[in-house]
Amino acid sequence: MSSISHAWMAEPVSLAGQDCLKLSDYTVESIEALLALALEGKEKQKRGEAWRPLLGKTLAMIFEKPSTRTRVSFEAGMAQLGGHPLALDRDNLQLGRGESIADTAKVFSGFVDGILIRTHRHTDVEELAGHATIPVINGLTDLHHPCQALADLLTLKEIKGNLKGRKLVYVGDGNNVFHSLAEAAALTGLHIVAVTPPGYEPDGSIVAEAKKIAKQTGATITCTHDPLEAVADADAIYTDVWASMGQEEEKEKRKEVFAGYQVNEDLLKHAKDDVTFLHCLPAYRGLEVTADVIDGPRSAVFQQAENRLHAQKALLAMLLGDQ
């Protein structure tokens, strides 16, 4: 059984055989265990210690969207854990010729030990998981980006220490990145604020679900349209691109709509002096963030990007291995 135990846990936490579709499916204890294992694994790598809990295991990775951090971190992570990654393009699979998701899930379940998929519709990931008998990991959908949020939590924990009671302000589009951040905040006691232009708020049903979880941890989830008011006393400020993949035709319109939602030095002056800047990347300097912020001393974006590797190694070890 895949499990991890710490002194503060009443009993070991096991995620063996489970899926990772969205963070709200997990418990507070599961997230704490994942972060603890990620930190442990990162330290092992720094010391040059071998950590190979996935010897003989194979992960199939299906990519329907372009990918840098997700593909490289999962492929490298799986190899470092002793397993074998298979990077697959939908167009080179029978999926691209009309084979059903259900049939693909059943076939893959007989070949490999887990499936990562980066795609458009969240319902496709749910269908894949519904027919697979092996763990399915959401590498990004139109509604959720759980692996990114795990890396974000890991980064904040490294920089700020205890997460409970900290304030994280997300500025920009209320998209899949914020949805997973809201769930992550709810599970760890973070206070999170979404600052969006009117009409670009996060999905109400996802926010409502996160708020239910937040009642257990004391977290708060707030949505507003005023950046200056929102960043007061912020421990961290996070942003994402204004036009995500699939929204290219809206790019010019979004430049106008989001013009007042740029993260710049003037905005950071209204936050705490030691505020940390985060961005999931890729970034467009001069649009959602200025170069002096993302390349400045308060930016942790490349630490955050590296932590995709360590967070995902912990996730893989707990879902597919014996950790």
Query: With b meaning 16 or more CB within 10 Å and e meaning fewer, what string describes 79-99?
Result: ebbebbbbbbebeeeebeeee
Strands 3-4 and 13-14: antiparallel
Check if 223 is active-site.
Answer: no
Determine whether the annotation assigns residue 285 to a binding site: no
Check if 90 is active-site.
Answer: no
Determine whether the annotation assigns residue 67 to a binding site: yes
User: Which candidate in 240, 254, 310, 312 is catalytic?
Assistant: 240
Nearest to 321 by CA among 39, 83, 30, 75: 83
User: Which candidate in 166, 191, 254, 308 is catalytic?
Assistant: 308
User: Which candidate in 80, 166, 223, 280 is catalytic?
Assistant: 280
Determine whether the annotation assigns residue 303 to a binding site: no
Determine whether the annotation assigns residue 97 to a binding site: no
Contacts of 123 (CB under 8 A, 6+ apart): none
Check if 148 is active-site.
Answer: yes
Check if 240 is active-site.
Answer: yes
Determine whether the annotation assigns residue 121 to a binding site: no
Determine whether the annotation assigns residue 145 to a binding site: yes
Tokens of 148: 């990114």
User: Which candidate in 118, 122, 254, 279 is catalytic?
Assistant: 118
Determine whether the annotation assigns residue 254 to a binding site: no
Check if 303 is active-site.
Answer: no
Identify the sign of the CA torsion 268, 270, 274, 276: negative
Q: Which amino acid is at 210?
A: A
Nearest to 183 by CA among 30, 304, 302, 312: 30
Strand order in the sheet with 236-239: 220-224, 191-195, 167-171, 236-239, 276-279
Determine whether the annotation assigns residue 23 to a binding site: no
Distance CA 123, CA 112 (A): 22
User: Which candidate in 148, 262, 304, 312 is catalytic?
Assistant: 148
Determine whether the annotation assigns residue 118 to a binding site: yes
Any bridge partners for residue 63, and if so which? 89, 118
Determine whether the annotation assigns residue 196 to a binding site: no
Determine whether the annotation assigns residue 223 to a binding site: no
Nearest to 53 by CA among 71, 68, 66, 37: 37
Determine whether the annotation assigns residue 217 to a binding site: no
Determine whether the annotation assigns residue 220 to a binding site: no
Determine whether the annotation assigns residue 146 to a binding site: yes
Check if 310 is active-site.
Answer: no
Contacts of 203 (CB under 8 A, 6+ apart): 143, 174, 179
Determine whether the annotation assigns residue 176 to a binding site: yes
User: Which candidate in 145, 179, 254, 279 is catalytic?
Assistant: 145
Q: Extract the annotated binding site for carbamoyl phosphate.
A: 67-70, 94, 118, 145-148, 280-281, 308
Q: Extract the annotated binding site.
A: 67-70, 94, 118, 145-148, 176, 240, 244-245, 280-281, 308
Which are the catalytic amino acids? 118, 145, 148, 240, 280, 308
Q: Extract the annotated binding site for L-ornithine.
A: 176, 240, 244-245
